[in-house]
Structure 1
Protein backbone atom coordinates (compact mmCIF):
# COMPACT_ATOMS: atom_id res chain seq x y z
CA UNK A 1 0.00 0.00 0.00
CA UNK A 2 1.51 3.29 -1.14
CA UNK A 3 1.00 6.75 0.31
CA UNK A 4 -1.04 8.97 -2.01
CA UNK A 5 0.93 12.01 -0.90
CA UNK A 6 4.18 10.45 -2.08
CA UNK A 7 2.57 9.29 -5.32
CA UNK A 8 1.45 12.83 -6.04
CA UNK A 9 4.93 14.16 -5.33
CA UNK A 10 6.56 11.53 -7.55
CA UNK A 11 4.14 12.34 -10.37
CA UNK A 12 4.96 16.03 -10.12
CA UNK A 13 8.67 15.27 -10.10
CA UNK A 14 8.34 13.06 -13.18
CA UNK A 15 6.19 15.32 -15.38
CA UNK A 16 6.33 18.86 -13.93
CA UNK A 17 2.57 19.38 -14.45
CA UNK A 18 1.16 20.80 -11.19
CA UNK A 19 -2.35 21.17 -12.63
CA UNK A 20 -2.65 17.38 -13.01
CA UNK A 21 -1.34 16.42 -9.58
CA UNK A 22 -4.75 16.90 -7.97
CA UNK A 23 -6.34 14.68 -10.61
CA UNK A 24 -3.88 11.88 -9.83
CA UNK A 25 -4.72 12.21 -6.13
CA UNK A 26 -8.43 12.05 -6.97
CA UNK A 27 -7.84 8.82 -8.89
CA UNK A 28 -6.29 7.31 -5.78
CA UNK A 29 -9.24 8.40 -3.66
CA UNK A 30 -11.78 6.85 -6.07
CA UNK A 31 -14.05 4.70 -3.91
CA UNK A 32 -15.90 2.98 -6.74
CA UNK A 33 -14.86 1.52 -10.08
CA UNK A 34 -17.13 3.97 -11.89
CA UNK A 35 -15.51 6.94 -10.16
CA UNK A 36 -12.07 5.56 -11.00
CA UNK A 37 -12.94 5.13 -14.68
CA UNK A 38 -14.16 8.72 -14.92
CA UNK A 39 -11.05 10.19 -13.30
CA UNK A 40 -8.70 7.88 -15.20
CA UNK A 41 -10.26 8.83 -18.53
CA UNK A 42 -9.81 12.51 -17.72
CA UNK A 43 -6.12 11.92 -17.06
CA UNK A 44 -5.69 9.80 -20.19
CA UNK A 45 -7.23 12.53 -22.34
CA UNK A 46 -4.51 14.90 -21.16
CA UNK A 47 -1.74 12.51 -22.13
CA UNK A 48 -1.25 8.77 -22.42
CA UNK A 49 2.14 9.03 -20.74
CA UNK A 50 0.46 10.19 -17.53
CA UNK A 51 -1.95 7.25 -17.59
CA UNK A 52 0.83 4.73 -18.32
CA UNK A 53 2.81 6.09 -15.38
CA UNK A 54 -0.15 5.43 -13.10
CA UNK A 55 -0.67 1.96 -14.59
CA UNK A 56 2.85 0.97 -13.60
CA UNK A 57 2.02 1.50 -9.92
CA UNK A 58 -0.65 -1.20 -9.77
CA UNK A 59 -4.27 -0.46 -8.94
CA UNK A 60 -4.45 -2.34 -5.65
CA UNK A 61 -1.48 -0.41 -4.29
CA UNK A 62 -3.00 3.06 -4.43
CA UNK A 63 -6.67 3.16 -5.53
CA UNK A 64 -9.34 2.73 -2.84
CA UNK A 65 -11.75 0.98 -5.19
CA UNK A 66 -9.27 -1.86 -5.74
CA UNK A 67 -7.57 -2.20 -2.35
CA UNK A 68 -9.79 -5.14 -1.31
CA UNK A 69 -10.75 -3.32 1.88
CA UNK A 70 -7.27 -3.20 3.41
CA UNK A 71 -6.94 0.58 3.74
CA UNK A 72 -10.16 1.41 5.60
CA UNK A 73 -10.10 4.77 3.83
CA UNK A 74 -6.56 5.70 4.89
CA UNK A 75 -4.56 6.96 1.92
CA UNK A 76 -1.47 8.35 3.66
CA UNK A 77 1.13 7.03 6.09
CA UNK A 78 -0.17 9.12 8.99
CA UNK A 79 -0.74 5.96 11.03
CA UNK A 80 3.00 5.29 10.91
CA UNK A 81 3.98 8.92 11.31
CA UNK A 82 2.06 9.15 14.58
CA UNK A 83 4.41 6.53 16.07
CA UNK A 84 7.41 8.35 14.61
CA UNK A 85 6.29 11.49 16.44
CA UNK A 86 6.29 9.54 19.70
CA UNK A 87 9.87 8.40 19.07
CA UNK A 88 11.03 11.76 17.73
CA UNK A 89 14.60 12.57 18.70
CA UNK A 90 15.45 9.05 19.86
CA UNK A 91 17.07 7.71 16.71
CA UNK A 92 20.26 9.73 17.14
CA UNK A 93 20.90 8.38 20.62
CA UNK A 94 23.38 5.62 21.48
CA UNK A 95 21.96 2.10 21.25
CA UNK A 96 21.30 1.64 24.97
CA UNK A 97 19.69 5.07 25.33
CA UNK A 98 17.68 4.51 22.15
CA UNK A 99 16.21 1.23 23.41
CA UNK A 100 15.45 2.76 26.79
CA UNK A 101 13.77 5.82 25.25
CA UNK A 102 11.68 3.64 22.93
CA UNK A 103 10.54 1.46 25.81
CA UNK A 104 9.52 4.29 28.12
CA UNK A 105 7.87 6.40 25.43
CA UNK A 106 5.76 3.50 24.19
CA UNK A 107 4.83 2.71 27.77
CA UNK A 108 3.67 6.30 28.22
CA UNK A 109 1.66 6.14 24.97
CA UNK A 110 -0.07 2.86 25.83
CA UNK A 111 -0.82 3.96 29.39
CA UNK A 112 -2.36 7.24 28.24
CA UNK A 113 -4.38 5.68 25.41
CA UNK A 114 -5.63 2.90 27.65
CA UNK A 115 -6.83 5.42 30.24
CA UNK A 116 -8.56 7.48 27.53
CA UNK A 117 -10.31 4.41 26.10
CA UNK A 118 -11.53 3.25 29.51
CA UNK A 119 -12.73 6.75 30.38
CA UNK A 120 -14.65 7.08 27.11
CA UNK A 121 -16.25 3.67 27.63
CA UNK A 122 -17.14 4.60 31.21
CA UNK A 123 -18.74 7.82 29.95
CA UNK A 124 -21.21 5.77 27.93
CA UNK A 125 -19.77 6.12 24.43
CA UNK A 126 -20.08 3.04 22.24
CA UNK A 127 -17.86 4.09 19.35
CA UNK A 128 -14.57 5.89 18.82
CA UNK A 129 -14.37 9.65 18.40
CA UNK A 130 -13.84 9.32 14.64
CA UNK A 131 -16.79 6.97 14.16
CA UNK A 132 -19.07 9.04 16.39
CA UNK A 133 -18.37 12.26 14.48
CA UNK A 134 -18.74 10.57 11.10
CA UNK A 135 -22.07 8.98 12.05
CA UNK A 136 -23.43 12.25 13.46
CA UNK A 137 -22.49 14.06 10.24
CA UNK A 138 -24.13 11.38 8.11
CA UNK A 139 -27.29 11.58 10.22
CA UNK A 140 -27.55 15.30 9.59
CA UNK A 141 -27.16 14.77 5.84
CA UNK A 142 -29.61 11.85 5.70
CA UNK A 143 -32.65 14.05 6.26
CA UNK A 144 -32.68 15.28 2.66
CA UNK A 145 -32.71 11.85 1.00
CA UNK A 146 -35.70 10.09 -0.58
CA UNK A 147 -35.73 6.29 -0.20
CA UNK A 148 -37.39 3.71 -2.47
CA UNK A 149 -37.56 0.08 -1.37
CA UNK A 150 -36.88 -2.53 -4.05
CA UNK A 151 -37.32 -5.87 -2.27
CA UNK A 152 -39.47 -7.38 0.45
CA UNK A 153 -36.49 -8.25 2.66
CA UNK A 154 -35.60 -4.59 3.27
CA UNK A 155 -32.13 -5.04 1.80
CA UNK A 156 -32.02 -3.24 -1.57
CA UNK A 157 -32.94 0.43 -1.90
CA UNK A 158 -32.65 3.26 -4.36
CA UNK A 159 -32.04 6.65 -2.79
CA UNK A 160 -32.09 10.13 -4.27
CA UNK A 161 -30.22 13.04 -2.76
CA UNK A 162 -32.61 15.97 -3.17
CA UNK A 163 -29.80 18.53 -2.88
CA UNK A 164 -27.68 17.15 -5.72
CA UNK A 165 -30.24 14.98 -7.50
CA UNK A 166 -27.80 12.05 -7.52
CA UNK A 167 -29.25 8.54 -7.33
CA UNK A 168 -27.50 5.71 -5.49
CA UNK A 169 -28.26 2.05 -4.88
CA UNK A 170 -27.85 0.62 -1.37
CA UNK A 171 -27.54 -3.11 -0.70
CA UNK A 172 -27.61 -3.74 3.03
CA UNK A 173 -27.06 -7.48 2.68
CA UNK A 174 -23.85 -6.99 0.69
CA UNK A 175 -23.00 -3.83 2.65
CA UNK A 176 -22.43 -1.73 -0.43
CA UNK A 177 -23.49 1.70 -1.60
CA UNK A 178 -22.82 3.43 -4.89
CA UNK A 179 -21.17 6.31 -3.05
CA UNK A 180 -18.41 3.94 -1.93
CA UNK A 181 -18.13 5.20 1.65
CA UNK A 182 -20.09 2.29 3.13
CA UNK A 183 -17.76 -0.44 1.87
CA UNK A 184 -14.53 1.54 2.28
CA UNK A 185 -14.96 2.73 5.88
CA UNK A 186 -17.34 0.02 7.12
CA UNK A 187 -19.50 2.76 8.57
CA UNK A 188 -23.10 3.50 7.53
CA UNK A 189 -23.03 6.39 5.07
CA UNK A 190 -25.85 8.94 4.88
CA UNK A 191 -27.67 6.78 2.32
CA UNK A 192 -27.60 3.73 4.59
CA UNK A 193 -28.80 5.76 7.57
CA UNK A 194 -31.64 7.16 5.46
CA UNK A 195 -32.67 3.62 4.46
CA UNK A 196 -32.57 2.43 8.06
CA UNK A 197 -34.65 5.39 9.22
CA UNK A 198 -37.17 4.82 6.43
CA UNK A 199 -37.66 1.15 7.30
CA UNK A 200 -37.09 1.49 11.06
CA UNK A 201 -33.94 -0.62 10.97
CA UNK A 202 -31.09 -0.43 13.45
CA UNK A 203 -28.17 1.33 11.73
CA UNK A 204 -25.78 0.15 14.45
CA UNK A 205 -25.82 -3.31 12.88
CA UNK A 206 -23.78 -1.88 10.01
CA UNK A 207 -20.99 -0.38 12.12
CA UNK A 208 -17.91 -2.57 12.09
CA UNK A 209 -16.69 -3.87 15.44
CA UNK A 210 -13.31 -2.20 14.96
CA UNK A 211 -14.91 1.15 15.84
CA UNK A 212 -16.36 -0.07 19.14
CA UNK A 213 -14.72 1.03 22.36
CA UNK A 214 -14.68 -2.56 23.60
CA UNK A 215 -12.36 -3.45 20.71
CA UNK A 216 -10.26 -0.30 21.02
CA UNK A 217 -9.57 -1.08 24.67
CA UNK A 218 -8.13 -4.43 23.62
CA UNK A 219 -5.47 -2.65 21.57
CA UNK A 220 -4.01 -1.07 24.70
CA UNK A 221 -4.58 -3.93 27.13
CA UNK A 222 -0.89 -4.84 27.05
CA UNK A 223 1.01 -3.40 29.99
CA UNK A 224 4.74 -2.75 30.07
CA UNK A 225 6.79 -4.12 32.94
CA UNK A 226 9.02 -1.75 34.96
CA UNK A 227 12.67 -2.39 34.19
CA UNK A 228 13.97 -1.70 37.67
CA UNK A 229 17.58 -1.05 38.63
CA UNK A 230 20.06 -2.63 36.18
CA UNK A 231 22.09 -3.91 39.13
CA UNK A 232 19.21 -6.22 40.02
CA UNK A 233 18.93 -7.74 36.54
CA UNK A 234 20.00 -11.38 36.15
CA UNK A 235 23.42 -11.95 34.64
CA UNK A 236 23.43 -12.21 30.86
CA UNK A 237 24.35 -15.59 29.45
CA UNK A 238 24.71 -15.63 25.72
CA UNK A 239 26.92 -14.73 22.79
CA UNK A 240 29.04 -11.60 22.90
CA UNK A 241 28.41 -9.24 20.02
CA UNK A 242 31.36 -7.34 18.60
CA UNK A 243 30.88 -4.45 16.20
CA UNK A 244 32.43 -4.92 12.78
CA UNK A 245 34.88 -2.14 11.89
CA UNK A 246 33.95 -2.60 8.24
CA UNK A 247 30.42 -1.34 8.97
CA UNK A 248 31.61 1.83 10.63
CA UNK A 249 30.37 4.97 8.96
CA UNK A 250 32.96 7.28 7.51
CA UNK A 251 32.70 10.92 8.43
CA UNK A 252 31.67 13.37 5.75
CA UNK A 253 34.19 15.62 4.05
CA UNK A 254 37.83 15.17 3.17
CA UNK A 255 39.84 12.73 5.29
CA UNK A 256 41.98 14.37 7.93
CA UNK A 257 45.68 14.23 7.17
CA UNK A 258 48.52 14.69 9.64
CA UNK A 259 51.30 17.05 8.62
CA UNK A 260 54.79 15.65 9.26
CA UNK A 261 55.84 18.68 11.28
CA UNK A 262 52.78 18.47 13.53
CA UNK A 263 52.91 14.74 14.11
CA UNK A 264 52.85 13.62 17.73
CA UNK A 265 55.96 12.00 19.25
CA UNK A 266 54.10 8.72 19.56
CA UNK A 267 53.86 8.53 15.78
CA UNK A 268 57.61 8.56 15.41
CA UNK A 269 59.95 11.17 14.05
CA UNK A 270 58.96 12.42 10.61
CA UNK A 271 61.35 11.99 7.73
CA UNK A 272 62.46 15.43 6.58
Structure 2
Protein backbone atom coordinates (compact mmCIF):
# COMPACT_ATOMS: atom_id res chain seq x y z
CA UNK A 1 0.00 0.00 0.00
CA UNK A 2 1.30 3.45 -0.88
CA UNK A 3 1.96 5.96 1.87
CA UNK A 4 0.57 9.46 1.65
CA UNK A 5 2.20 12.46 3.28
CA UNK A 6 1.02 15.97 3.99
CA UNK A 7 2.50 18.79 1.93
CA UNK A 8 5.14 20.38 4.16
CA UNK A 9 4.45 23.88 2.81
CA UNK A 10 0.70 23.72 3.36
CA UNK A 11 1.04 22.42 6.92
CA UNK A 12 3.52 25.21 7.63
CA UNK A 13 1.06 27.79 6.26
CA UNK A 14 -1.75 26.34 8.38
CA UNK A 15 0.42 26.65 11.47
CA UNK A 16 1.36 30.18 10.54
CA UNK A 17 -2.27 31.29 10.15
CA UNK A 18 -3.68 29.36 13.12
CA UNK A 19 -1.05 30.13 15.72
CA UNK A 20 0.40 33.43 14.42
CA UNK A 21 4.03 32.62 15.20
CA UNK A 22 6.99 32.83 12.84
CA UNK A 23 9.23 31.19 15.44
CA UNK A 24 6.86 28.22 15.63
CA UNK A 25 6.95 27.66 11.87
CA UNK A 26 10.76 27.57 12.03
CA UNK A 27 10.65 24.91 14.73
CA UNK A 28 8.09 22.95 12.75
CA UNK A 29 10.37 23.02 9.70
CA UNK A 30 13.29 21.64 11.70
CA UNK A 31 11.12 18.80 13.00
CA UNK A 32 9.48 18.03 9.66
CA UNK A 33 12.69 17.78 7.62
CA UNK A 34 14.69 15.86 10.25
CA UNK A 35 15.90 12.50 8.98
CA UNK A 36 16.35 10.69 12.29
CA UNK A 37 13.68 10.03 14.93
CA UNK A 38 16.03 11.34 17.63
CA UNK A 39 16.47 14.60 15.77
CA UNK A 40 12.71 14.94 15.25
CA UNK A 41 12.04 14.29 18.94
CA UNK A 42 14.49 17.00 19.98
CA UNK A 43 12.72 19.65 17.89
CA UNK A 44 9.21 18.41 18.68
CA UNK A 45 9.90 18.42 22.43
CA UNK A 46 10.94 22.04 22.03
CA UNK A 47 7.60 22.77 20.33
CA UNK A 48 5.70 21.00 23.13
CA UNK A 49 7.35 23.11 25.82
CA UNK A 50 6.93 26.48 24.15
CA UNK A 51 3.78 26.01 22.01
CA UNK A 52 1.62 23.30 23.68
CA UNK A 53 -1.50 24.38 21.72
CA UNK A 54 -0.02 23.24 18.43
CA UNK A 55 0.72 19.72 19.68
CA UNK A 56 -2.87 18.50 19.35
CA UNK A 57 -3.04 19.78 15.77
CA UNK A 58 0.21 18.09 14.76
CA UNK A 59 -0.43 14.83 16.60
CA UNK A 60 -4.12 14.32 15.80
CA UNK A 61 -5.05 16.36 12.73
CA UNK A 62 -1.88 15.93 10.68
CA UNK A 63 -0.19 12.94 12.38
CA UNK A 64 3.55 12.31 12.65
CA UNK A 65 3.73 9.75 9.85
CA UNK A 66 2.34 12.29 7.41
CA UNK A 67 4.16 15.45 8.45
CA UNK A 68 7.57 14.06 9.42
CA UNK A 69 10.29 12.86 7.08
CA UNK A 70 11.62 10.66 9.90
CA UNK A 71 8.24 8.96 10.52
CA UNK A 72 7.00 8.67 6.94
CA UNK A 73 6.43 5.06 5.91
CA UNK A 74 6.98 5.40 2.15
CA UNK A 75 9.57 6.86 -0.20
CA UNK A 76 9.54 10.62 -0.61
CA UNK A 77 12.74 10.86 -2.68
CA UNK A 78 13.34 14.19 -0.86
CA UNK A 79 10.02 15.58 -2.19
CA UNK A 80 7.99 17.08 0.68
CA UNK A 81 5.73 19.53 -1.13
CA UNK A 82 2.95 19.41 -3.70
CA UNK A 83 4.62 22.02 -5.89
CA UNK A 84 3.79 20.20 -9.13
CA UNK A 85 0.09 20.28 -8.20
CA UNK A 86 0.31 24.01 -7.54
CA UNK A 87 2.01 24.50 -10.90
CA UNK A 88 -0.83 22.76 -12.71
CA UNK A 89 -3.37 24.63 -10.58
CA UNK A 90 -1.89 28.00 -11.58
CA UNK A 91 -1.82 26.91 -15.20
CA UNK A 92 -5.51 26.05 -15.07
CA UNK A 93 -6.56 29.34 -13.48
CA UNK A 94 -7.71 30.93 -16.75
CA UNK A 95 -8.70 27.68 -18.42
CA UNK A 96 -11.33 27.00 -15.74
CA UNK A 97 -13.49 29.65 -17.42
CA UNK A 98 -13.48 27.77 -20.74
CA UNK A 99 -16.22 25.35 -21.86
CA UNK A 100 -15.32 21.80 -20.79
CA UNK A 101 -14.17 20.67 -24.27
CA UNK A 102 -11.99 23.74 -24.71
CA UNK A 103 -10.52 23.25 -21.24
CA UNK A 104 -9.61 19.63 -22.00
CA UNK A 105 -8.03 20.69 -25.30
CA UNK A 106 -6.00 23.29 -23.40
CA UNK A 107 -4.76 20.66 -20.93
CA UNK A 108 -3.82 18.25 -23.71
CA UNK A 109 -1.99 20.95 -25.66
CA UNK A 110 -0.06 22.17 -22.62
CA UNK A 111 0.90 18.69 -21.45
CA UNK A 112 2.01 17.83 -24.98
CA UNK A 113 4.34 20.83 -25.04
CA UNK A 114 5.70 19.97 -21.58
CA UNK A 115 6.44 16.41 -22.65
CA UNK A 116 8.14 17.57 -25.85
CA UNK A 117 10.37 20.08 -24.01
CA UNK A 118 11.37 17.61 -21.31
CA UNK A 119 11.91 14.81 -23.81
CA UNK A 120 14.36 17.01 -25.71
CA UNK A 121 16.15 18.00 -22.51
CA UNK A 122 16.43 14.38 -21.37
CA UNK A 123 17.64 13.24 -24.79
CA UNK A 124 20.61 15.63 -24.61
CA UNK A 125 21.79 14.41 -21.20
CA UNK A 126 25.02 12.37 -21.35
CA UNK A 127 25.56 11.76 -17.63
CA UNK A 128 24.34 8.62 -15.79
CA UNK A 129 22.02 10.69 -13.58
CA UNK A 130 19.81 13.67 -14.33
CA UNK A 131 21.63 17.04 -14.18
CA UNK A 132 20.14 18.00 -10.82
CA UNK A 133 21.21 14.72 -9.21
CA UNK A 134 24.67 14.95 -10.72
CA UNK A 135 25.04 18.39 -9.15
CA UNK A 136 23.79 17.03 -5.82
CA UNK A 137 26.35 14.22 -5.85
CA UNK A 138 29.17 16.63 -6.68
CA UNK A 139 28.24 18.84 -3.73
CA UNK A 140 28.11 15.83 -1.40
CA UNK A 141 31.48 14.62 -2.72
CA UNK A 142 32.99 18.01 -1.86
CA UNK A 143 31.77 17.58 1.73
CA UNK A 144 33.61 14.28 2.23
CA UNK A 145 36.88 16.09 2.82
CA UNK A 146 38.95 14.40 5.48
CA UNK A 147 36.25 12.26 7.10
CA UNK A 148 37.76 9.31 8.95
CA UNK A 149 36.31 6.02 7.71
CA UNK A 150 36.91 2.65 9.34
CA UNK A 151 35.85 -0.67 7.85
CA UNK A 152 33.92 -2.84 10.31
CA UNK A 153 33.18 -5.92 8.21
CA UNK A 154 32.49 -6.97 4.61
CA UNK A 155 29.69 -4.44 4.15
CA UNK A 156 29.72 -1.94 7.03
CA UNK A 157 31.84 1.16 7.62
CA UNK A 158 32.06 3.57 10.54
CA UNK A 159 32.32 7.16 9.30
CA UNK A 160 33.33 9.67 11.97
CA UNK A 161 31.94 13.19 11.73
CA UNK A 162 32.06 16.22 13.97
CA UNK A 163 28.41 15.91 14.97
CA UNK A 164 27.99 12.15 15.23
CA UNK A 165 29.35 8.90 13.86
CA UNK A 166 27.44 7.09 11.14
CA UNK A 167 27.36 3.40 10.23
CA UNK A 168 27.05 2.75 6.49
CA UNK A 169 26.00 -0.60 5.05
CA UNK A 170 26.95 -0.62 1.37
CA UNK A 171 25.13 -3.87 0.69
CA UNK A 172 21.74 -2.75 2.04
CA UNK A 173 22.33 0.85 0.84
CA UNK A 174 21.61 2.35 4.23
CA UNK A 175 23.14 4.71 6.76
CA UNK A 176 22.26 5.48 10.36
CA UNK A 177 21.94 9.17 9.42
CA UNK A 178 18.87 8.06 7.38
CA UNK A 179 19.58 10.42 4.46
CA UNK A 180 20.68 7.51 2.27
CA UNK A 181 17.66 5.40 3.22
CA UNK A 182 15.06 8.11 2.63
CA UNK A 183 16.38 9.92 -0.44
CA UNK A 184 17.79 6.82 -2.16
CA UNK A 185 20.89 8.84 -3.03
CA UNK A 186 24.27 8.25 -1.32
CA UNK A 187 24.84 10.57 1.64
CA UNK A 188 28.24 12.00 2.53
CA UNK A 189 28.92 8.99 4.79
CA UNK A 190 28.04 6.50 2.05
CA UNK A 191 30.33 8.26 -0.42
CA UNK A 192 33.16 8.22 2.14
CA UNK A 193 32.55 4.49 2.69
CA UNK A 194 32.54 3.88 -1.07
CA UNK A 195 35.93 5.58 -1.34
CA UNK A 196 37.27 3.34 1.41
CA UNK A 197 35.75 0.20 -0.11
CA UNK A 198 36.84 0.69 -3.72
CA UNK A 199 39.32 3.58 -3.99
CA UNK A 200 40.10 2.73 -7.62
CA UNK A 201 36.48 2.41 -8.66
CA UNK A 202 34.64 4.81 -6.37
CA UNK A 203 32.62 6.60 -9.05
CA UNK A 204 31.07 3.44 -10.45
CA UNK A 205 30.20 2.20 -6.96
CA UNK A 206 28.56 5.51 -6.06
CA UNK A 207 26.38 5.46 -9.17
CA UNK A 208 25.34 1.87 -8.42
CA UNK A 209 24.04 3.02 -5.03
CA UNK A 210 21.69 5.61 -6.55
CA UNK A 211 18.03 4.79 -7.14
CA UNK A 212 17.31 3.88 -10.75
CA UNK A 213 14.63 6.57 -10.77
CA UNK A 214 17.37 9.23 -10.69
CA UNK A 215 18.94 7.83 -13.86
CA UNK A 216 18.84 9.96 -17.00
CA UNK A 217 17.44 7.03 -19.00
CA UNK A 218 14.43 6.88 -16.66
CA UNK A 219 13.96 10.60 -17.08
CA UNK A 220 13.82 10.07 -20.84
CA UNK A 221 11.41 7.15 -20.48
CA UNK A 222 9.09 9.28 -18.33
CA UNK A 223 8.49 11.59 -21.31
CA UNK A 224 8.94 9.10 -24.14
CA UNK A 225 5.29 8.97 -25.12
CA UNK A 226 3.78 11.58 -27.45
CA UNK A 227 0.57 13.30 -26.37
CA UNK A 228 -1.68 13.72 -29.40
CA UNK A 229 -4.53 16.20 -29.76
CA UNK A 230 -8.05 14.83 -30.02
CA UNK A 231 -9.24 15.35 -33.62
CA UNK A 232 -12.72 16.71 -34.46
CA UNK A 233 -15.45 14.08 -34.01
CA UNK A 234 -16.00 14.04 -37.79
CA UNK A 235 -12.60 12.31 -38.03
CA UNK A 236 -13.28 9.71 -35.36
CA UNK A 237 -13.11 6.15 -36.68
CA UNK A 238 -13.15 2.65 -35.23
CA UNK A 239 -14.94 3.73 -32.07
CA UNK A 240 -15.74 0.68 -29.91
CA UNK A 241 -19.45 -0.12 -29.67
CA UNK A 242 -19.42 -0.05 -25.87
CA UNK A 243 -18.23 3.57 -26.08
CA UNK A 244 -20.81 4.71 -28.65
CA UNK A 245 -23.53 3.05 -26.57
CA UNK A 246 -22.82 5.28 -23.57
CA UNK A 247 -25.39 8.00 -23.01
CA UNK A 248 -24.23 11.07 -21.13
CA UNK A 249 -27.01 12.86 -19.27
CA UNK A 250 -26.28 16.45 -18.38
CA UNK A 251 -27.34 18.09 -15.15
CA UNK A 252 -28.12 21.71 -14.33
**TM surpasses 0.5:** yes
Which deviations, in whole Å up to 9, do the C-alpha atoms of 1:80-132 show, x marking residues without a partner? 22333554522221112101111111111111111211121xxx211112211
SS in 1 for 2:74: coil
- CA RMSD across the alignment: 2.1
Deviations 1:156-193 (A, max 9, x none): 122123xx453222222332223322111100111111
CA 87–17 in structure 1, closer or farther in 2 if over 3 Å, else same: closer
Gaps of 5+ in 2: none
3-state DSSP class of the match of 1:64? coil
Please give the alpha-carbon distance, in whole angstroms, between the structure 2 residues aligned to 1:221 and 1:230.
27
Q: Say if 1:148 and 1:14 are closer, same or farther in 2 by CA, change over 3 A.
A: same
**Is the Cα–Cα contact under 8 Å of residues 31 and 180 in structure 1 kept in the other structure?**
yes
CA-CA distance at 1:6 after TM superposition? 1.3
Secondary structure of the structure 2 residue equivalent to 1:170 = strand
Normalised to the residue count of structure 2, the TM-score between the two structures is 0.86
The answer to whether structure 1 residue 2 and structure 2 residue 16 are counterparts is no
Tell which has more relative contact order, 1 or 2 (C-alpha 8 A, sep 6+).
Answer: 2
Q: CA deviation at 1:149?
A: 1.3
CA deviation vs aligned residue, 1:191-233 (integer Å, no higher than 9, x gap): 1111111221521221010001111122112212343454333
1:63 and 2:61 equivalent? Answer: no
Whether the aligned pair in 2 keeps the contact of 1:114 and 1:217 (CA below 8 Å) is yes
Aligned partners of 1:29 and 1:63 also within 8 Å? yes
Alignment of 1:218 with 2:221, yes or no, is yes
Which of 149, 152, 168 lines up with 2:151 in the alignment? 149
1:49 to 42, 45, 53: 53
Would you say how many aligned residue pairs link Structure 1 and Structure 2?
238
Contact 2:40–2:70, Cα closer than 8 Å, also in 1: yes
Measure the CA separation in 1 of the matches of 2:229 and 2:24.
53
Residue from 139, 142, 167 that aligns with 2:165: 167
| 8 Å contact kept, 1:4–1:62 | yes
Shift of 1:66: 1.5
User: Out of 196, 214, 231, which is 2:234 matched to?
Assistant: 231
Report the structure number with the largest CA radius of gyration. Answer: 1
**Cα separation, 2, equivalents of 1:165 and 1:21:** 25
TM-score (norm 1): 0.80
1:243 is aligned, of 209, 225, 250, to 250
Gaps of 5+ in 1: 246-272
1:203 aligns with 2:206: yes
Q: 1 CA distance for matches of 2:143 and 2:178?
A: 16
| Contact residue 175 and residue 181 of structure 2 kept, 8 A | yes
CA spacing shift, 1:16–1:226, aligned 2, 3 Å: closer
Are the aligned partners of 1:27 and 1:39 in contact in 2 as well (CA < 8 Å)? yes
